[in-house]
């Protein structure tokens, strides 16, 4: 037992736990976990707290980094499409796309040939159709090579999410394209970066899966805290008793009412744990 027994802290990975934006844009090496974050999380867990990663990455893309992060709870992956237990090596919850989603996604690619899409198979394979420069940057960041496919309908199920990659203006047009066909109501369509548009089944988001994780752990939402920097984190930031964001977060996260802490490069989780240390 410790002061954080019955408390859940869930954090985004990229640009929250570790600042990876420069690696994505320039091809530079991914930096290590800030030591301040490591020390804070080790203390939090030693005092009984449960810490989980909540990432937009596919499991295959996060496993390459999982050993860098001290954690003692299952993690949210695929932007909320799945909950994975790192101790047992199995999925605990999934919310998956169907064949119709692939057919609709292909219509998007036919209309916007400059766009690429990554299809996240929960069996640890990332497929790609029309791979472009953004796909290659993403490969460098995740350290996972995509398996190219001629079309989306030929990609095997089950899939956690589709990730469209293009210039931001093109991605906004893709959202409008899906809305005009009344397909958008069937999916979560969320930007996880200027050149990245996430598509998961309706209801599959970080907030919903963090709620499920808290339920599995027997932790009330009044003792759940979340940290994130991008629009795809807002659902969990607003679901938590208090949401926190590193100073490098996008404007939409500031506007959602998140408490701003230091930049991810300076160890944002260190600030968060210090705040919780005063609260409990």
- The predicted structure's pLDDT at residue 44: 98
Domain of 42, in residue numbers: 8-94+204-279
Task: Using the 3D structure, point to which of 136, 171, 201 is the last residue of a domain.
Answer: 201
CA angle 67, 69, 72 (to 5 degrees): 95
- The predicted structure's pLDDT at residue 241: 98
What percent of the chain has pLDDT above 90? 87
What is the value of pTM for the model shown? 0.92
- The predicted structure's pLDDT at residue 192: 87
Contacting residues for 235 by C-beta, under 8 A, at least 6 apart: 80, 205, 206, 207, 208
Task: Using the 3D structure, point to which of 168, 201, 234 is the last residue of a domain.
Answer: 201
Report the mean per-residue pLDDT for the chain.
95
**Domain for residue 2, yes or no?**
no
The answer, yes or no, to whether residue 24 has pLDDT greater than 90, is no
The answer, yes or no, to whether residue 248 has pLDDT greater than 90, is yes
Q: Structural domain tally of the chain? A: 2
- The predicted structure's pLDDT at residue 220: 98
- The predicted structure's pLDDT at residue 122: 86
- The predicted structure's pLDDT at residue 64: 84
Q: What is the pLDDT of residues 89-147, one digit of tens each?
A: 999 999 999 999 999 999 999 999 999 999 999 887 899 999 999 999 888 888 888 99
Contacting residues for 177 by C-beta, under 8 A, at least 6 apart: 108, 111, 112
Q: What is the pLDDT of residues 30-65, one digit of tens each?
A: 899 999 999 999 999 999 999 999 999 989 889 988
CATH at 221: 3.40.50.1000
* Mean pLDDT to the nearest integer, 14-36: 91
């Amino acid at each position: 037992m410790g002061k954080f027994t019955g408390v859940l802290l869930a954090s985004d990975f990229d640009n929250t736990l570790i600042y990876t934006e420069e690696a994505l844009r320039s091809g530079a090496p991914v930096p290590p976990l800030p030591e301040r974050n490591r020390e804070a999380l080790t203390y939090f867990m030693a005092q009984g707290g449960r810490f989980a990663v909540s990432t937009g990455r596919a499991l295959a893309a996060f496993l390459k980094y999982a050993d860098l992060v001290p954690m003692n709870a299952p993690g949210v992956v695929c932007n909320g499409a799945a909950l994975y237990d790192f101790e047992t090596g199995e999925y605990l919850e999934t919310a998956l796309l169907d064949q119709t989603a692939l057919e609709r996604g292909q219509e998007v690619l036919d209309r916007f040939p400059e766009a690429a899409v990554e299809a996240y198979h929960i069996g640890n394979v990332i497929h790609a159709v029309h791979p472009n420069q953004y796909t290659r940057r993403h490969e460098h960041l995740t350290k996972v090579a995509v398996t190219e496919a001629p079309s989306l309908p030929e990609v095997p199920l089950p899939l956690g999410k589709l990730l469209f990659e293009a210039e931001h203006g093109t991605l906004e047009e893709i959202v409008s394209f899906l809305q005009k066909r009344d397909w958008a109501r069937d999916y979560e369509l969320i930007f996880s970066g200027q050149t990245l548009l996430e598509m998961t089944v309706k209801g599959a988001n970080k907030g919903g899966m963090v709620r499920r994780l808290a339920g599995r752990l027997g932790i009330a939402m009044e003792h759940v805290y979340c940290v994130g920097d991008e629009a795809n984190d807002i659902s969990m930031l607003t679901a938590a008793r208090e949401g926190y964001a590193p100073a490098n977060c996008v404007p939409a996260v500031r506007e959602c009412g998140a408490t701003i802490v230091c930049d991810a490069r300076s160890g944002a989780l260190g600030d968060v744990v210090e705040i919780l240390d005063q609260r409990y």
